[in-house]
Structure 1
Amino acid sequence: MVKSPLQIARESYFPKLPASLKGAVKIVEGNKTESVADQADIKKMFPNTYGMPVITFESGSESKEYPAVKVGVILSGGQAPGGHNVISGLFDGLLNCNKENKLFGFLGGPSGLTDNQFVELTAEVVDHYRNTGGFDIIGSGRTKLEEEAQFDKVIENCKALGINALVVIGGDDSNTNACVLAEYFLQKKAGIQVIGVPKTIDGDLKNEVVETSFGFDTACKTYSELIGNIQRDANSAKKYYHFIRLMGRSASHICLECALQTQPNITIISEEVEAKGLTLDDIVDYIADIVVKRAENGDNFGTILIPEGVVEFVPAMKKLISELNDILAKHETEVNVLDSNKDRRDFVATKLTEESATVFTHLPNSFANQLMLDRDPHGNVQVSAIETEKLLIDMVKARLKKLKKSGDFSGKFGGLGHFFGYEGRCATPSNFDADYCYSLGITASLLISEGKSGYMASVKNLTAPAEEWIPGGAPITMMMNMEKRHGAMKPVIQKALVVLDGAPFKKLDENREDWAMGTKYVYPGPIQYFGPKEVCDTTTHTLRLEQAK
């Protein structure tokens, strides 16, 4: 296999560690916990894993002898930079706990557990993937483990291998799955622990014990480099408005962080759209107004950041999409047999409420068709397939045409659309993500060795030097609430949305007018792995602002 000079250099990088993970470790348990909402429902559904204490690992005075275990690991959901380092940390941590420990990787995500597809992860395998991006060491998948028959198959396959514990590396839904498995295994006295690890580039898996999900740092730096390159081009050619859609279906954390890193002219934040009850026309008016004002200054170019999930936060659209999700789940067979998009639109329109039907029938056909696409594994519209940037370009262009006709706009407008998604999911992890993920992996190995189950690995104090980070674990049930999925209420980890009175959004808001009318672009450049600490070891603006004293 041919390797680039960077690959070779990164293989020799050894991640920085918290002081408490460098020698003997002692476990400190805090107070009992409760779920963030719907406490009675969550407690009833998770009697064996509800109310457990938050755990912290501190430097100890005596080394412990842990019994030998066999551990299975899966990568679940979309890729995120740093997953390989979680597995590297887990592998090294297990061997530190007991030289006889073994690690098995189940292939292709959760389906590997039920299909019994696995490989033993030895030093020869793991060493090849240290500090690299991607999930290709064992692959990932989005199979949902929801049926008892699946759970029983997992028990059967784990028992055959002698596996004592599973580590699920995934986002909020995958970690919810991990908690369901942990509860079921305890109920059945299966003798299999389950530990989760917080992964998602979207940044919406965070709370009081999980300061950020891994991959967010690297993805935002990767996207910000691309945005900076486009802004340099825009400022050079001075003739295009670049509408840049960024990943983040349920929350706008990526859009906000990239805005703080690059200072574009316009940034749309989905949570603000919902809070203010804005319509698509309101968003178009806001963009068109800035285009007109910039044109008066002789600037017929700019950059606009758009979160991919913004259409779901426009109140009328949110209501429509919610109804569509329910209708398409209930009438899937009837819709699928219809021959044309028009027939499908007409059929669905008859099932909608009057208000939503009006919105639906007035949408451009191409956009309405995109809302009718196959649902994701959770039964929701696949917003990454909706080309919101093109819709906004067309709507802004039409608005400016009217303004030009009325004499209120004399400039030029050329819109170009971009979508940055896969570009950031498998980038070589930043130093922060390489360090953070390795610490998460070692922390997961300690939670297993201490006999814990239903916990998520946690590393806190992340804006401090790695030496001062605080590893531990949090009960997954404490992060849960009840939400509607496939038309039924189910327990899930509560997503963290952008907080409009939080420091990161306030920083954007106070600079909006200046960045809109001026050309104050910042060009971050590529991720730096070597050099001054302020260049290569910085955390995201979001984390620094959230934790600013």
Structure 2
Amino acid sequence: MPQTNVSELQIQRRKYQPVLPEVLQAGAAAVKAKEGKLTHSIADREKVKEIFPNTYGLPEVTFVKGANAKIKNKAVRVGVVLSGGQAPGGHNVIAGLFDGLKKANKKNVLIGFLGGPSGILENKYKVISEKVLDDYRNTGGFDFIQSGRTKIETDQQFCSTKDNCTSQKLDALVVVGGDDSNTNAALIAEYSKKENMGMCVVGVPKTIDGDLKNKNIETSFGFDTATKIYAELVGNICRDVNSAQKYWHFVRLMGRSASHITLEVGFKTQPNIVLVGEEILAKNLTLAKVVDNIVSVIKKRAADGKNFGVALVPEGLIEFIPEMKKLISALNDTLAEHASAIAGFDSIEEKKEYVFNKLPANLSALMQSLPAGIASQLMLDRDPHGNVQVSLIETEKLLIEMVQKKLVELKKEGSYKGKFSAITHFFGYEGRCGIPSNFDANYCYALGYNAAVLALNNFTGYLSSVRNLTQAPKKWICGGIPLTMMMNIEKRHGKDKPVIQKALVDLKGKPFKEFAKKRDTWAVTESYIFPGPIQYFGPTEVTDLTTKTLQYEQTKK
């Protein structure tokens, strides 16, 4: 259905024309594929190859200009599905995919599966038309066809996928998702090959967390917009804290398995404390040591009469603290192994008591030492991928409680005379469905159009790759990277599973090194930056900036 309730900004954003990379501008019929070297998985090569015998070891692909007459020979039907959490720009991926298919052949058909992968299993879909799609161009959210977190992994689910995709006469399926969703895409591609379905499967890299990237996937879509939205909010808090000068604000930011969002928002706002989970893990810091480091900054500022500040906390921090990481891993295994017994208890306290007795003694002691609320949150049901739902764990409150306790001790010793009042925030869902920035509007459109070219050339088991992103969009380089190339083996629900390896903050990379140079200054001074809202209109030097992370990574010197 066309959207009826729209804002003035949305009306104007519909008029925005994304810029395609030059190699794609003439359409798929004017694009040739240049195959590179054969690839192998990033780790666990033999195990990954055993799971993907038909799609392992494919070559990297780069698109170049050149006649490709076979593209127009046959009209195709392509399905698209949005999988996992929302990210700004998803609608532009669909728009790029639609336009790429129609440019190649007006008879090509695009259908959207509704509600995520469950739409494939239930054969719920709608045929996408230009008239309806136009209302969603350059808009945020996934509401055009919705998303979902269903995983296609059982024999019955694969059979349903085959039956429904065959009944739809699909020549290709495009899966828009993060690392887990694109792992699923790889499994569907392998199944399609094994079953001779004749259906090409292509992935598109989506996650605001920024942890789906490598040399060919420089960033996942949505990261740019989400970090700009969070930076606006954090910048507002920095301005407030510098005005009132009486509170410490602890801000937890989305990013379950990596600290990319926190680091990028740190660059954009320059708060007093930025915790990077990967550094804490590398230094093998205990929870107590993390608290001591925070207290050290608070003491230094208090000595200058500054009983205020801003601290950024990555959502997944608790999993980066080695002792907590071991506890969560043990909890994952224990909860999976004893699921039926635990389900038989009525109260959370009974469940905790049962689990305490199943954990190793040292981890049981650690679990019991945590504040009751945090211990209970660690017992919550896992997500569909078997991971603890860290977004439900109020890590910032845990830190504040422990910081307060430490400061009371120091005050008794006479080594601290300041005041500490704390306010907490969690910014997560605020950034997932924002209207995409110019960068994400262009990038997503290019990713979708590029996915159409991959599908039309029958490159199955590939992830849409658009790179050279710090340059103007017309100079972006397009192609595909084999999904198996990014795989390793991880334990999920107590079993070994193939998974696209998450990209963590590289402590030897330029972004972190730049941060490390500056954080001591940020800690004791008010170096705050107030970036304001995402700018759509104005000088390109403001509206079209890429993330600081990409700028540092792509700078040659």
Pick the TM interval, shorter chain: over 0.9
1:389 corresponds in structure 2 to 396
Q: How far is 1:149 from its partner?
A: 1.3
- Partner SS state of residue 233, structure 2: helix
Partners of 1:227 and 1:215 in 2: how far apart?
A: 18
Q: 1:41 aligns with which of 44, 47, 58?
A: 47
> Is the CA contact (8 Å cut-off) linking 1:66 and 1:449 kept in structure 2?
no
Aligned structure 1 segments of 4 or more residues deviating by more than 3 angstroms: 61-64
1:16 corresponds in structure 2 to 19
Q: How far is 1:258 from its partner?
A: 0.5
> Is the CA contact (8 Å cut-off) linking 1:220 and 1:258 kept in structure 2?
yes
Q: Which amino acid aligns with 1:25?
A: V
| Structure 1 unaligned residues grouped into runs of 5+ | none
Q: How far is 1:10 from its partner?
A: 0.3
Q: Which amino acid aligns with 1:77?
A: G
Describe the superposition over 1:55-111 as per-residue Cα deviations: whole angstroms up to 9, x where unpaired. Answer: 111122566524211011100000000000000000000001111000100000000
- 1:211 equivalent in alignment to 2:214: no
> Is the CA contact (8 Å cut-off) linking 1:240 and 1:413 kept in structure 2?
yes
TM-score norm. by structure 2 comes to: 0.97
- Partner SS state of residue 72, structure 2: coil
> Is the CA contact (8 Å cut-off) linking 1:67 and 1:449 kept in structure 2?
no
Describe the superposition over 1:115-139 as per-residue Cα deviations: whole angstroms up to 9, x where unpaired. Answer: 0111111101211100000000000
Partners of 1:277 and 1:99 in 2: how far apart?
A: 58
Q: Once structures 1 and 2 are overlaid, which stretch shifts more, 337-346 or 525-534?
A: 337-346
Alignment map for 1:121-132 (pairs within 5 Å): 121-132=128-139
1:54 corresponds in structure 2 to 60
What root-mean-square deviation, in Å, do the aligned CA atoms of Structure 1 and Structure 2 show? 0.9
Q: Once structures 1 and 2 are overlaid, which stretch shifts more, 58-67 or 163-172?
A: 58-67
Alignment map for 1:420-439 (pairs within 5 Å): 420-439=427-446
1:309 corresponds in structure 2 to 316
Partners of 2:170 and 2:188 in 1: how far apart?
A: 14
Partners of 1:283 and 1:355 in 2: how far apart?
A: 20
Q: 1:489 aligns with which of 490, 493, 496?
A: 496
Partners of 1:398 and 1:110 in 2: how far apart?
A: 47
- Partner SS state of residue 191, structure 1: coil
1:107 corresponds in structure 2 to 114
TM-score norm. by structure 1 comes to: 0.99
Partners of 1:62 and 1:365 in 2: how far apart?
A: 64
1:224 corresponds in structure 2 to 231
Alignment map for 1:188-203 (pairs within 5 Å): 188-203=195-210
- 1:282 equivalent in alignment to 2:285: no
1:183 corresponds in structure 2 to 190
Q: 1:322 aligns with which of 329, 336, 348?
A: 329
Q: 1:117 aligns with which of 116, 119, 124?
A: 124
Describe the superposition over 1:416-473 as per-residue Cα deviations: whole angstroms up to 9, x where unpaired. Answer: 0000000000000000000000000000100111111100000010001111100111
2:72 corresponds in structure 1 to 65
1:457 corresponds in structure 2 to 464
Describe the superposition over 1:142-165 as per-residue Cα deviations: whole angstroms up to 9, x where unpaired. Answer: 001001211111111112122111
Partners of 1:144 and 1:44 in 2: how far apart?
A: 21
Describe the superposition over 1:310-335 as per-residue Cα deviations: whole angstroms up to 9, x where unpaired. Answer: 11111111011000001111111111
Partners of 1:118 and 1:66 in 2: how far apart?
A: 26
1:291 corresponds in structure 2 to 298
Partners of 1:410 and 1:43 in 2: how far apart?
A: 61
Q: Which amino acid aligns with 1:10?
A: R
> Is the CA contact (8 Å cut-off) linking 1:66 and 1:97 kept in structure 2?
no
Partners of 2:372 and 2:67 in 1: how far apart?
A: 68
Partners of 2:73 and 2:444 in 1: how far apart?
A: 23
- Partner SS state of residue 345, structure 1: helix
Q: 1:245 aligns with which of 237, 252, 257?
A: 252
Alignment map for 1:346-385 (pairs within 5 Å): 346-385=353-392
Partners of 1:493 and 1:375 in 2: how far apart?
A: 19
Alignment map for 1:163-182 (pairs within 5 Å): 163-182=170-189
- Partner SS state of residue 232, structure 2: helix
Q: 2:33 aligns with which of 2, 24, 27?
A: 27
- 1:502 equivalent in alignment to 2:498: no
Q: How far is 1:339 from its partner?
A: 2.2
